[in-house]
Amino acid sequence: MLSSHRLKVLQEVFRTGSIAGAARTLRLSPSAVSHQLARLEEEAGVGLVERSAHSLQLTAAGRRLATRAQEVLDLIESAEKDLFAQARADAGQLRIGFFASAGYRLLPLALSSFTARHPGVELDLVLGQPHELLPDVERGALDVLVVFEHALDTWKPPKGVEVVHLFDEPHLLVVPLGHPAARRPRVRLADLADDPWITTFGTETPVSVLERASALEGFTPAIRCRSDHYEVTLGLVRAGLGVALVPSLGVQGATGVQVCHVEGPKLYRRVGAATRPTNPNPALRAFLDYLRDASARLSVTLR
């Protein structure tokens, strides 16, 4: 029988590319990782690693086993939960990752209904950017991650992770009270080409969505400040220090500013839920139903 703990060690060596990387992730010593790999080779009856003085590589058998390890670990976890009668949607633990503006209304709306129906489920909530937390979904440290993808800045989920689309969220133009743009029903970004802008950082590049959209409009915005915290952005706009392009979730309940609809190609972001399809946690399936329901109700107010 293959040890699930040693399969986890092999998986992390494969994912990080080194014994040292796996040791850091698993909080083990490098020698302990090497020992577990050697024991796993004995259990498997085949060589899984090729060692040299300065490097380590997985054999073909090692790579094949590592790619199947998460599936095997999920099945073992499911069997253990069945054995101990823990595989119920009203018990156990649910680990949820989310981005900040999803925590304003979307996640609370879903969780208020979910916890009322499943009060025995222990919740572990983790705040962070999707690109920071996706590896945690991939390795099983999170059950679900609420994610976004800008139509002008797309990405692909890691292998073994699936993203279920929830709704499309429009970008809105946020301006100080009394700004001339607020008198028009719809504006183009180019109409504010001479204004100072408050914008975000890029996801995996320095280029923000505002800068991508402005390039399509034929101008380069004057960036006064960059912040990924929409409370900061709104505060600066409220003080008259600039204008901003903000997703709808980020302006929910904002006061002291005016919000305008903006014209332009692909000025929206897709909100979704990233999971591993092989995850056996029954509380996850129940939570996703409440998340879809909350998304449907909330998306009506964002149009």
Structure tokens at 114: 């979910």
- Tell me the whole-structure pTM to 2 decimals: 0.71
Beta-strand ranges (E) seen in the chain are 49-51, 56-58, 93-98, 122-127, 144-150, 162-176, 186-188, 196-199, 222-226, 243-247, 257-263, 268-275
Which residue did the predictor score with more confidence, 204 or 126? 126
Count CB neighbours of 49 within 10 A.
Answer: 18
The dotted CATH code for 4-83 is 1.10.10.10
| pLDDT higher than threshold 50 for residue 69 | yes
The tally of CA atoms less than 13 A away on the side-chain side of residue 18 is: 7
pLDDT for 85: 42
Identify the CATH homologous superfamily for domain 93-167+270-302.
Answer: Periplasmic binding protein-like II (3.40.190.10)
Going from the C-alpha of 185 to that of each of 30, 152, 180, 182, 264, the distances in angstroms are 62, 24, 11, 7, 14
In the chain, where the domains are located = 4-83, 93-167+270-302, 169-266
Tell me the pLDDT tens digit for each residue of 130-162. Answer: 999 999 999 999 999 999 999 999 999 998 999
Q: What is the pLDDT of residue 11?
A: 87
| Cβ contacts of 32-40, under 8 Å, gap ≥ 24 | 33/9, 36/5, 36/6, 36/9, 37/6, 37/9, 37/10, 37/13, 39/3, 39/6, 40/2, 40/3, 40/6, 40/7, 40/9, 40/10
> What tens digit of pLDDT does each residue of 206-253 get?
899 999 999 999 999 999 999 999 999 999 999 999 999 999 999 988
Q: Do domains 93-167+270-302 and 169-266 have the same CATH topology?
A: yes
pLDDT of 303 strictly over 70: no
Please state which CATH number belongs to domain 169-266: 3.40.190.10
Residue 54: its pLDDT value, please? 63
Backbone angles phi, psi at 179, to 5 degrees: -65, 140
